[in-house]
Amino acid sequence: MASHPRDILLGAQAQTGFLPVCDHYSGVEARMRKSLQLQAELMQEFGACVFDVSLDCEDGAPVGGEAEHAALVTELALNAEPGARVAVRVHAVDHPAFEADIATIAGKAGHRLAHIMVPKAESPADIERAVRAIDAAGATQLAVHALIESPAAVHRAFDIAAHPRLQSLSFGLMDFVSAHGGAIPSAGMGVEGQFQHPLVVRAKLEIASACHAHGKVPSHGVVTEFKDRPAFLAAATKAANDYGYTRMWSIHPDQIRPILQAFAPTAHEIETAASILLAAAQADWAPISHGGKLEDRASYRYYWQVLQRAHQTGRPLPNEVQEWFAVLRP
């Protein structure tokens, strides 16, 4: 094809980069190794890296063993399979281990990482402090993700999302609820209550809106009920369809496929998007009539995003549009 939608449809991908819709967290050595193995297996199955593996220092490192854990995740990142997407959640910027985390992990494995996750970000100054530390370690190309976990941070979400180095914001549900001193009941952390309590709902919408305003990726946080697959799938579907999130955390291997399912477009949506974009390309991206409806650059951008989500979730694409994605594969 002579023209690529990515180049023609300016603003077609408002969000930064092509992030997988699933971000899988693990912090214990055996589980981290298993997560990387599973990622490699699904890369073979889907032909693309459909989820990130985030190695966890904040919750994974034993107290007093932070340096050893940082060395371990660095080794795992360096030895990951070609094409793997590996990230690391470091300690918060005010934690005594933060600087050492960055120096070790970004300094030795920054070239191999997809991003660094900064937890408990309270303000743009926290993002800037992380960026300065990462740059000082020599990883000036490394993207930063941040986790918003308090009412004050939610209030500053738009300012945090505006930082040019920030790629994604995640919502830290558990800490957010506990930060309210009992004002939000424990049900607000549950698979249903987190989509019902007004303060939690407001926080989720604020973070998603801030991300979309600044072209960043909103990542929905933890749902702890990993044994109840239908309930988890319903929660992931709500996050994707009702709350504006384009990415979601997994904390158990059983959550990865439901996230891919919830965030993927349907086969009919993929077929419609491909048909419209192929017709648009034939018309040199001028307005067209398709199925009795007017389609133009605004709708082309939407349908291009549908195909991007299909690619990100490993869904089959029509042969006619596959070459648009060939250069995007790991």
Cβ neighbour number for residue 103 with a 10 Å cutoff: 16
Q: Which of 93-97, 154-158, 293-297 has the lowest mean pLDDT?
A: 293-297
How far apart are the C-alpha atoms of 108 and 98, rounded to whole Å?
15
Burial of 7 (0-12, 13-18, 19+ CB in 10 A): exposed
pLDDT in tens, 178-230: 999 999 999 999 999 999 999 999 999 999 999 999 999 999 999 999 889 99
Q: Which amino acid is at 180?
A: H
> How far does CA 186 lie from the centroid of its chain?
26
Half-sphere exposure of 175 (CA within 13 A, CB side): 17
How far apart are the C-alpha atoms of 74 and 80, rounded to whole Å?
10
pLDDT of residue 311: 86
Tell me the pTM.
0.91
Domain boundaries defined on the chain: 5-11+266-325, 22-263
Q: Return the CATH superfamily for domain 22-263.
A: Phosphoenolpyruvate-binding domains (3.20.20.60)
How far apart are the C-alpha atoms of 212 and 234, rounded to whole Å?
23
pLDDT of residue 327: 56
How far apart are the C-alpha atoms of 225 and 212, rounded to whole Å?
28
Spatial neighbors of 317 by CB under 8 A, at least 6 apart, are 270, 274, 307, 310, 311, 325
How far apart are the C-alpha atoms of 216 and 314, rounded to whole Å?
22
Three-class DSSP labels, 240-255: HHCCCCCEEEECCHHH
DSSP E strands in 238-296: the ranges are 247-250, 288-290, 293-295
pLDDT in tens, 36-47: 999 999 999 988
3-state secondary structure of 70: helix
pLDDT-based confidence at residue 17 (cuts at 50, 70, 90): low
pLDDT-based confidence at residue 1 (cuts at 50, 70, 90): very low
Q: What separation in angstroms does the CA of 9 have from each of 70, 305, 325? A: 42, 11, 15
